[in-house]
Amino acid sequence: MKKLVSNITSRDVDFSKWYTDVVREANLVAYSNVKGSMIICPYGYAIWENMQKLLDKEFKKSGHENVQMPMFIPESLLNVEKNHVKGFAPEVAWVTYGGNEKLEERMCVRPTSETLFCEYYKNIIKSYRDLPKLYNQWCTIVRWEKTTRPFLRSREILWQEGHTMHATSEDARNETLRILKIYEDFQRNILALPVIVGKKTESEKFAGAEETYTLEAMMYDGVALQNGTSHYFGDHFAKAFGIQFLDESNNLQTPYQTSWGVTTRMIGAIIMTHGDDHGLVLPPNIAPIKVIFVPINNDDKVKETISKIANELTEDITYKVDNSDKTPGFKFAEAEVKGIPIRIEVGLRDLETNEVTLVRRDTLEKIKVKIDEVVEKIPVLLKEIQNNLYNRAMERRDSKIFDVNSYDEMKELIKDKTGFVKVNWCGDAACEEKIKDDTGYKSRCIIEGEEPTGKCIICNKDAKCRIYVGKQY
Amino acid sequence: MKKLVSNITSRDVDFSKWYTDVVREANLVAYSNVKGSMIICPYGYAIWENMQKLLDKEFKKSGHENVQMPMFIPESLLNVEKNHVKGFAPEVAWVTYGGNEKLEERMCVRPTSETLFCEYYKNIIKSYRDLPKLYNQWCTIVRWEKTTRPFLRSREILWQEGHTMHATSEDARNETLRILKIYEDFQRNILALPVIVGKKTESEKFAGAEETYTLEAMMYDGVALQNGTSHYFGDHFAKAFGIQFLDESNNLQTPYQTSWGVTTRMIGAIIMTHGDDHGLVLPPNIAPIKVIFVPINNDDKVKETISKIANELTEDITYKVDNSDKTPGFKFAEAEVKGIPIRIEVGLRDLETNEVTLVRRDTLEKIKVKIDEVVEKIPVLLKEIQNNLYNRAMERRDSKIFDVNSYDEMKELIKDKTGFVKVNWCGDAACEEKIKDDTGYKSRCIIEGEEPTGKCIICNKDAKCRIYVGKQY
């Protein structure tokens, strides 16, 4: 047990090393010889599968359908929307040969699929009856990042990308927000992440979008992780691609578009929000294994007790019995590293008083429970753990949100603190950039509903709004 | 209705054109400007999702776990196993640039992932305790095909690839056959395909495999479609990659390996086995929509009847109500093109006698059923349709399997017939190749359990076995 835990650096000593230690020890990811690409191991992939299953259900419930677009984008197609190509061309992988033949036109591996969807929509949208089109795809995209970290920044990213077309601007805006709400609910209720949801500034928008909404999660160290975005495109792309439809009065109109996506990065957010020095801590609602049984003694009575409890659990309580020949101590450590929400230790001594020991992963608290009360206790405890993780993260987040009145105050504050800083801002990109260049704090999002409390902290002109600024992964 | 159906060429007039017509009219696939790549539309993708769900469940039930490997393979890694690289290098897509920088070593987009899995296994297999490793991944692969057809031959292929490692040759052989059985059961029971299962000859084996098992489906026109393979690798790859483990007696051993895969090609097999001149015919067990309700009159009583029936259906009976403003005739044709197993027509005239009309997609037979018997009737009818499709395909298949005693007899036979021809074969690749070069009939698989009935039909030497030969997609 000591050995396993000692493989993990303390998160307060070196958070970055702690992260890679946890990712490795919990067997989420393995490094490959393919530079910048990771192998997602079974346990890591099972978390992603749970995320897919739950989100996909919400997408379908709200009328979305899955499709699969080509993986490659010819260079000329990527070039159609100017802002878009400017944003992506420097970071794509180019295929130049098919077998032994040089391609007439090189193609990139999709970094995102707006252009492919637009080309498709141009062919299938003719009339108002064809709208809305609510398509999504689960796939892998490629962005040629220089420095990579598992789940956070990688050359290959597993994600979903929704691309929708609507008859009116209002419909498209509603879709943008509807998806944002699905993401928010999922991240709060399932991943226990108290995300801050808001609009990106002009300079932080997605390449080609008119408005970008973001979900900003705060990690244990006070650094932000952009954990999903939903974009309103207006009719930029539709115009660039010449997509038009006949409305009910037989007039040609241009449709309005959205796109939205979340990635395996959400796994990184879970690790860095909930994990501790023992390893991963998984919110029960996303954990592939919710309960692990550890037999303390190799004894029939122990086995029978475990079977009895396990058989009575409802189907949604996924469990595992650790029957390996490792020591109980080693099994405890392994269950902790993997962040399994509840560990049930079943040993002969406890059985004398008809009890077993439940250990909560979030608090490591040990609870003796009568055998005939365990089945009832488990769902209650799982819910408690889920809530506790959320509340704990929320409290930490709130303790790291700082309100400043001046740039000097901000610079003084961030000397020994890291978090989100609320500042008044004039709306000028130059001021935003100065903060970033001086301090490394980038604007996260505009704080909607809050009026400016003073002048822009940089130029001292009238502030238009308040924004969060923060360091980011 | 006439218009829709007339868009489909008769399958007896031009089977190839019939196929592309059905694929297009049923909205399974759309063509993209990306040469050789297809767009899988919502209806086509829903079929694939059903396939994934059912197979994934079987894989997991038998102890397999999903992972995700990199999409790229560095050239040097692809080169490690000689037969493997020879088989794949001519048909891979090469990435040579990342952003604006030329890569030091070019990488191909995976055409299959044996090499990636081997490299991973080399790192994680140390002891007999680490075996078996039963990993699978769902992903897209790329093979630079010159001529492509939707689902059958495409530059991008959606598939699953299992890669497993075992302590003994026997374990690996068992795994190869266990998966073959999962594939066979799935294709017979779910896809209603009476596949022929057997072993490939030496020259038709997978590049690098010791043994390749195949599932050969016969299409309506008598042409074969290889519809899945399961390979036993022996220790070729493990040796090439230096994978070793310590056995229970602390001796270094080389593990044994398998790989296996099925693709979206299975959708092509369904189309070309069950489809007819009205379009697609989907086996109920794989159909995204099992029942479609078509209201004949715009009337409250009609609507109420539909709701009443629909609400009483069990969850597994997926259904749709076609409330569009098209004519009933158009809706019928659309339901037929999409191959929906049961259509329920609800009209005022039938309601007078408390009846609705059920139409079977497989036979187009119309059945009047009392309203209060419909809910009970549907699952029975779905089962009947499923069985009928299987039996019909089986009968057709058997009518196109021919047994010949001489090469002349074969050449005479295939002048006006297409099917699988059973021939005696000496085992020499030259004889196999002569048949292929002369007639276009490639060996499909060795007929296990059948003894030769004469001499090799080419060289007249003693025959070692009997094989099926046939044309292929």
DSSP labels for A342-406? EEEEE-HHHHHTTEEEEEETTT--EEEEEHHHHHHHHHHHHHHHHHHHHHHHHHHHHHTEEE-SS
**DSSP annotation of B133:** E
Q: Any chain B CB within 8 A of the CB of A177? A: no
Which tens digits make up the pLDDT trace of A44-88? Answer: 999 999 999 999 999 999 999 999 999 999 999 999 888 888 888
Domain with residues A2-274, CATH architecture: 2-Layer Sandwich (3.30)
CB-CB neighbors (< 8 A) of B120 in chain A:
30, 32, 39
Q: Give DSSP secondary structure letters for A263-328.
A: ETHHHHHHHHHH-BTTB----TTT-S-SEEEEESS--HHHHHHHHHHHHHS-TTS-EEE--SSS-H
Cβ–Cβ pairs < 8 A, chains A and B: 147
Q: How high is the pLDDT of residue A202?
A: 95
* CB within 8 Å: B77 and A33: yes
**In residues, how long is chain A?**
473
Facing A72 at nearest CB: one of B34, B46, B99: B34
Which tens digits make up the pLDDT trace of A108-160? Answer: 999 999 999 999 999 999 999 999 999 999 999 999 998 899 999 999 999 99
- Residue B132, preceding bond cis, omega within 30 degrees? yes
Percent of chain A scoring above 90 in pLDDT: 93
- Determine the residue type at A396: R
User: In sequence order, what are the residues at sequence separation of 6 or more whose Cβ sits closer than 8 angstroms to the Cβ of residue A135?
Assistant: A64, A65, A66, A67, A117, A162, A163, A164, B42
CA distance to partner chain B, nearest, from residue A444 (Å): 26
CB-CB neighbors (< 8 A) of B119 in chain A:
32-33
Facing A67 at nearest CB: one of B45, B71, B93: B45
User: What value, to the nearest 5°, has the Cα angle with vertex B87 and ends B82 and B90?
Assistant: 110
Query: For the stretch A378-415, what's the b/e string if a residue is b when 16 or more beta carbons lie within 10 angstroms of its beta carbon?
Result: beebbeebbeebbebbeebbeebebebeebeebeeebe
State how far the Cα of B38 lies from the Cα of B31, in Å rounded to an integer: 5
State how far the Cα of B141 lies from the Cα of B163, in Å rounded to an integer: 15
Q: How high is the pLDDT of residue B36?
A: 86
Q: How high is the pLDDT of residue B279?
A: 97
CB-CB neighbors (< 8 A) of B334 in chain A:
none
Q: Are strands A401-403 and A420-425 parallel, antiparallel or unpaired?
A: parallel
Identify the CATH class of B401-470. Answer: alpha beta
CB-CB neighbors (< 8 A) of B70 in chain A:
32, 34, 37-39, 156
Distances B342 to A459, B5, B320, B384 between C-alpha atoms, Å: 70, 18, 11, 11
Q: For residue A200, how many C-alpha atoms fall within 13 Å in the half-sphere facing its CB? A: 22
> CB atoms < 10 A from the CB of A157, how many?
19
CB contact residues (below 8 A), chain B span 78-107, against chain A: 89-100, 106-107
Residue A7: helix, strand or coil by DSSP?
coil
Q: How high is the pLDDT of residue A36?
A: 86
State how far the Cα of A294 lies from the Cα of A77, in Å rounded to an integer: 56
- Interface pTM (ipTM) of the complex? 0.95
Specify the residue for token string 């007339």.
B6
Nearest alpha carbon to residue A93 among B88, B93, B145: B93
Helix ranges (H only) for A26-98 are: 42-61, 75-78, 82-88
pLDDT per position in chain B (473 positions), as tens?
455 667 899 999 999 999 999 999 999 999 888 888 899 999 999 999 999 999 999 999 999 999 999 999 999 999 988 888 888 888 999 999 999 999 999 999 999 999 999 999 999 999 999 999 999 999 999 999 988 999 999 999 999 999 999 999 999 999 999 999 999 999 999 999 999 999 999 999 998 899 999 999 999 999 999 999 999 999 999 999 999 999 999 999 999 999 999 999 999 999 999 999 999 999 999 999 999 999 999 999 999 999 999 999 999 999 999 999 899 999 999 999 999 999 999 999 999 999 999 999 999 999 999 999 999 999 999 999 999 999 999 999 999 999 999 999 999 999 999 999 999 999 999 999 999 999 999 999 999 999 999 999 999 999 999 999 999 99
Facing A45 at nearest CB: one of B39, B41, B66: B66
CB-CB neighbors (< 8 A) of B87 in chain A:
none
Q: Any chain B CB within 8 A of the CB of A32? A: yes
* CB within 8 Å: B34 and A73: yes
Q: Any chain B CB within 8 A of the CB of A46? A: yes
CB-CB neighbors (< 8 A) of A91 in chain B:
99
CB contact residues (below 8 A), chain A span 111-130, against chain B: 116, 119-120, 123-124
Beta bridge partners of B137: B161
State how far the Cα of B196 lies from the Cα of B422, in Å rounded to an integer: 12
* CB within 8 Å: A34 and B91: no
Q: How high is the pLDDT of residue B2?
A: 54
CB-CB neighbors (< 8 A) of B72 in chain A:
34, 37, 93, 156
CB-CB neighbors (< 8 A) of B73 in chain A:
34
Q: Any chain B CB within 8 A of the CB of A334? A: no
* CB within 8 Å: A97 and B94: yes
Facing B96 at nearest CB: one of A65, A94, A158: A94
Confidence of residue A2 (pLDDT cuts 50, 70, 90): low
Mutation target among B31, B56, B57, B68 for the A interface, most CBs of A within 10 A: B68
Q: Any chain B CB within 8 A of the CB of A147? A: no
Q: How high is the pLDDT of residue A207?
A: 85
Domain spans in chain B, listed from the N-terminal domain onward: 2-274, 291-384, 401-470
Q: Is the pLDDT of residue A321 over 90?
A: yes
Facing A65 at nearest CB: one of B42, B98, B106: B42
CB-CB neighbors (< 8 A) of B91 in chain A:
99
- Determine the residue type at B464: K
Asked if the A291-385 domain carries CATH number 3.40.50.800, the reply is: yes
Contact A225, A272 (CB under 8 A): yes
User: What value, to the nearest 5°, has the Cα angle with vertex A51 and ends A50 and A56?
Assistant: 105
Distances B81 to A126, A139, A472 between C-alpha atoms, Å: 51, 29, 43
* CB within 8 Å: B39 and A144: no
Confidence of residue A3 (pLDDT cuts 50, 70, 90): low
Choices 3.30.365.10, 1.10.287.3510, 3.40.50.980, 3.40.50.800: CATH for B291-384: 3.40.50.800
State how far the Cα of B434 lies from the Cα of A197, in Å rounded to an integer: 68
* CB within 8 Å: A77 and B38: no
